[in-house]
Amino acid sequence: MKMLLASWSKLRHVGLAAPLVIALGCGSNVDDGTDRPDTGVMGDSGTNETASDVGGDDMPPDGAVPLENVCDVIASAACSSNTTTCCTASGFTFDEKTCRSRQKQYCDEQVAVVKAGKATYDATKIPGCVAAWKDTFSKCKVSLTDELRAGGACALVFRGTITRGSPCTSDGECKAPEGGLAACGSSKLCEVLFYGEAKADEPCRTNGYQCAAGLQCTGDNVCKPATPIGGACPSAMDQSCGFGNFCNALKCAAGLPAGSACGNYLECASWQCVSSKCSDPTPPFANKFRCGV
Amino acid sequence: MRSLLRPISAAVVVTFGLAVACSTSDPSPTGAPIPKGEIACDIRITDNSVTQTWTIEDRGAVAKATVENTGSAATYNIEVKLDGVVAFQSDVTMSKLGGVSNTSRYLTPFATKETVVDVQAQGGSWTVKVDGRRLAIDTEAAKKAPPATIAFDDGTSVGPIVPKAIETRINDAVNKLMGAEKDARESCVNGTAPDLSQKGEPGRPSSPHKSAECNSCRNFCGTKFIACTAGTIFGCWAGCFGLAAVPIVGAALVVTCNVLCNLVLQPRCATDYSDCLENCRNQFCCPVSCGPSATQCCAAGESCLNSATGLCCRVGLTPCRGKTCFDNAAENCMPDGSACPKEKTCGSNCCKSPGGGFGTEENCVSPVHHLCCRVGLIACVAPNVVGPGAAVCCPPGGCLPDGTCINPNP
- Smallest CA–CA separation between A37 and chain B, in Å? 20
Confidence at residue B150, expressed as pLDDT on a 0 to 100 scale: 54
Evaluate if residue B30 carries a pLDDT over 60: no
Query: Are B364 and A181 within 8 A, CB to CB?
Result: no
Comparing CA positions, the residue from B110, B140, B132, B130 lying closest to residue B263 is: B140
Residue B281 sits in the same domain as residue B299: no
Task: Decide if A188 contacts A169 (C-beta within 8 A).
Answer: yes
Residue B171 sits in the same domain as residue B37: yes
For residue B355, being part of any structural domain is answered with: no
Q: A136: which chain B residues are within 8 Å (Cβ-Cβ)?
A: 358
Of the residues B351, B353, B358, the best mutation for testing chain A's interface (the one with the most A CB atoms within 10 Å of its CB) is B358
Beta bridge partners of B63: B56, B80
Question: Which has more pLDDT, A258 or B116?
Answer: A258
Evaluate if residue B47 carries a pLDDT over 60: no
Confidence at residue B90, expressed as pLDDT on a 0 to 100 scale: 76
Please provide the average confidence, as pLDDT, over all residues in chain B. 66
The distance of Cα A70 from the centroid of its chain, to the nearest Å, equals 17
Please give the ipTM for the structure prediction: 0.73
Question: Which has more pLDDT, B50 or A70?
Answer: A70
Confidence at residue B98, expressed as pLDDT on a 0 to 100 scale: 52
For residue B166, being part of any structural domain is answered with: yes
CA–CA distance, B99 with B97 (Å, rounded to integer):
6
For β-strands B378-381 and A223-225, DSSP reports them as unpaired
Q: What does the pLDDT look like over B288-338, one tens digit per residue?
A: 888 888 778 888 888 888 888 888 888 888 888 888 888 898 889 999 888
Q: What percent of chain B has pLDDT over 70?
A: 48
Residue B275 sits in the same domain as residue B314: no
B380 reaches A (C-beta below 8 A): no
Beta bridge partners of A184: A190
In total, how many domains does chain B have?
3
Window from A1-10, B15-24, B255-264, B332-341 with minimum mean pLDDT: B15-24
- At B256, give phi and psi (nearest 5°): -65, -45
For residue B309, being part of any structural domain is answered with: yes
Q: What does the pLDDT look like over B134-163, one tens digit per residue?
A: 766 554 444 444 444 456 667 665 543 343
Residue B276 sits in the same domain as residue B128: yes
Window from B19-28, B281-290, B330-339 with minimum mean pLDDT: B19-28
Selection from A104-118, B12-26, B207-221 with the highest mean pLDDT:
A104-118
Confidence at residue A245, expressed as pLDDT on a 0 to 100 scale: 93
For residue B72, being part of any structural domain is answered with: yes
B35 reaches A (C-beta below 8 A): no
Residue B134 sits in the same domain as residue B205: yes
Confidence at residue B99, expressed as pLDDT on a 0 to 100 scale: 62
* pLDDT class of B89 with cuts at 50, 70, 90: confident
CA–CA distance, B13 with B149 (Å, rounded to integer):
13
The pLDDT of B173-189, averaged and rounded, is 53
Strand ranges (E), B107-143: 115-122, 125-130, 133-134
The pLDDT of B63-77, averaged and rounded, is 67
Residues 6 or more apart in contact with residue A261 via CB below 8 angstroms: A276, A277, A278
Q: Which long-range contacts (CB under 8 A, 24 or more apart) does A72-75 make?
A: A72/A11, A72/A104, A73/A126, A73/A130, A74/A103, A74/A104, A74/A107, A74/A126, A74/A129, A74/A130, A74/A133, A74/A154, A74/A157, A75/A99, A75/A100, A75/A101, A75/A103, A75/A104, A75/A107
Residue B366 sits in the same domain as residue B264: no
Residue B174 sits in the same domain as residue B268: yes
Confidence at residue B285, expressed as pLDDT on a 0 to 100 scale: 86
Window from A172-186, B14-28, B198-212, B323-337 with minimum mean pLDDT: B14-28
Element at B68 (helix H, strand E): strand B61-69
Evaluate if residue B216 carries a pLDDT over 60: yes
Residue B269 sits in the same domain as residue B376: no
Confidence at residue B161, expressed as pLDDT on a 0 to 100 scale: 37
- Smallest CA–CA separation between B363 and chain A, in Å? 7
Q: Which of A107, A132, A148 lies closest to B376 in CB terms? A: A148
Window from B65-79, B135-149, B188-202, B371-385 with minimum mean pLDDT: B188-202
Residue B17 sits in the same domain as residue B149: yes
Comparing CA positions, the residue from A62, A92, A58 lying closest to residue A75 is: A58
Question: Which has more pLDDT, B69 or A123?
Answer: A123
Q: Which of A78, A191, A272 lies closest to B363 in CB terms? A: A272
Q: B393: which chain A residues are within 8 Å (Cβ-Cβ)?
A: 185-186, 191
Task: Decide if A253 contacts A267 (C-beta within 8 A).
Answer: no
- What letter does residue A247 receive in the DSSP assignment? E
What secondary structure does DSSP assign to A100-126, as a single string? HHHHHHHHHHHHHHHHTTSEEE-GGGH
* pLDDT class of B259 with cuts at 50, 70, 90: low
CA–CA distance, A290 with B315 (Å, rounded to integer):
25
Comparing CA positions, the residue from A202, A27, A110 lying closest to residue B357 is: A110
Orientation of helix A126-139 relative to helix A144-154, angle to 10°: 160
Q: Which residue of A has its CA nearest to B407?
A: A206
- Smallest CA–CA separation between B351 and chain A, in Å? 9
Structural domain span for residue B39: 2-285
Q: Which residue of A has its CA nearest to B367?
A: A275
Instruction: Count residue pairs from A and B with Cβ separation < 8 A.
Output: 114
CA–CA distance, B132 with B274 (Å, rounded to integer):
34
CA–CA distance, B194 with B273 (Å, rounded to integer):
12
For residue B367, being part of any structural domain is answered with: yes
CA–CA distance, B191 with B182 (Å, rounded to integer):
18
CA–CA distance, B311 with A191 (Å, rounded to integer):
38
The last residue of one of the domains, among B285, B308, B332, is B285
Q: Where are the domains of chain A?
A: 2-155, 198-276
* pLDDT class of B352 with cuts at 50, 70, 90: confident
Task: Decide if A208 contacts A217 (C-beta within 8 A).
Answer: yes
The last residue of one of the domains, among B241, B262, B285, is B285
Of the residues A156, A272, A290, the best mutation for testing chain B's interface (the one with the most B CB atoms within 10 Å of its CB) is A272
Confidence at residue B109, expressed as pLDDT on a 0 to 100 scale: 62
Evaluate if residue B255 carries a pLDDT over 90: no
* pLDDT class of B374 with cuts at 50, 70, 90: confident
Amino acid at A80: S
Window from A3-12, A250-259, B22-31, B369-378 with minimum mean pLDDT: B22-31
Question: Which has more pLDDT, B96 or B344?
Answer: B344
Residue B53 sits in the same domain as residue B192: yes
Residue ranges of chain A with pLDDT lower than 50? 1-56
Confidence at residue B19, expressed as pLDDT on a 0 to 100 scale: 22
Confidence at residue A5, expressed as pLDDT on a 0 to 100 scale: 35
Query: Are B376 and A144 within 8 A, CB to CB?
Result: yes
Evaluate if residue B172 carries a pLDDT over 60: no
The last residue of one of the domains, among B230, B261, B285, is B285
Residues 6 or more apart in contact with residue B122 via CB below 8 angstroms: B98, B99, B100
Residue B346 sits in the same domain as residue B364: no
Confidence at residue B54, expressed as pLDDT on a 0 to 100 scale: 60
Q: Which of A106, A191, A217 lies closest to B393 in CB terms? A: A191
Beta bridge partners of A60: none
